[in-house]
Amino acid sequence: MVTRILVVCTHNSTRSQIAEAYLRRLLNDRAEVYSAGTDPRGIHPLAKAVMAEEGYDLSTHTSDAVEKYAGQTWDYVITVCDSARESCPYIPARYNLHVSFPDPSQGDIELFRQVRDAIRVWATDFARQI
């Protein structure tokens, strides 16, 4: 049985997109991984740039509303920012988790790299645990 994971942040533009990319690669065929936002705004160009530095192409990713995934069966629903945790409609899952990463959207590429690196460490640990 394949594990189903939904990663949620506010705009589905950076943090949830990065987490989705890492988890997809780390878990490969062991999981289906998606991301969504409570107020989707499109993928941030600097998120694409910092992930490209590590060999990830986010050009095929979409910025989706969390409502798109309501009513589906999930093993994990993971919020990756405090705002999404507060405003995300409840989506039932075997495990509802929260981890908070800073919002890099008002920063420069270095801040995006720092957030990317923090998410990579978290995603690697998470993938080992499940």
Active site residues per annotation: 9, 81, 88
Burial class of 16 by CB neighbour count within 10 A (0 to 12, 13 to 18, 19+): buried
Residue listed under structure tokens 């929260």: 98
On whether the CB atoms of residues 20 and 61 are closer than 8 A, the answer is yes
Q: How far apart are CA 46 and CA 53, in angstroms?
A: 11
Rounded CA gap, 41 and 13, in Å?
Answer: 6
